[in-house]
């Protein structure tokens, strides 16, 4: 494995893990007021696009990271839409 690929994997891990605290916080509190729906919609579409690109070009750091991140950002987007409509998480 080249040093460039190692840097890619480390960077992918860091950006992937960065969504976990937000996901956990929403799951615990149901508070989505500070979340931007357009931002998470664009993030979800972008991550999906990067996943496709990574698979199509066989770029492991790209498809692994985005394959992990996609369900997280999609779940955050769904919770944002759901909790905004219901006014609470229950």
**Residue 42 CA: distances (Å) to CA of 1, 84, 89:** 32, 18, 23
Residue 39 pLDDT level (bands cut at 50, 70, 90): very high
pLDDT digits (tens, 9 = 90+) for 17-38: 998 999 999 999 989 988 999 9
Report the pLDDT averaged over residues 2-25.
89
Burial 53-87 (b: 16+ CB within 10 A, else e): ebeeeebebbbbbbbbbbebbeebbebbeebeeee
CA 50, CA 37: separation in Å to the nearest integer? 20
**Residue 52 CA: distances (Å) to CA of 48, 55, 70, 71:** 6, 5, 11, 14
Global confidence as pTM: 0.81
């Amino acid at each position: 494995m080249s040093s460039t690929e190692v840097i890619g994997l480390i960077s992918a891990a860091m950006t992937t893990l960065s969504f976990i605290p937000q996901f956990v916080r929403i799951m615990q509190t149901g508070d989505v007021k500070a979340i931007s729906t357009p931002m998470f919609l664009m993030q979800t579409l972008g991550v999906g696009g990067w996943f496709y690109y990574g698979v199509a070009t066989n770029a492991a750091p790209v498809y692994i990271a985005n394959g992990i991140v996609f369900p997280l950002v999609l779940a955050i987007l769904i919770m944002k839409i759901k909790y905004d409509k219901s006014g609470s998480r229950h």
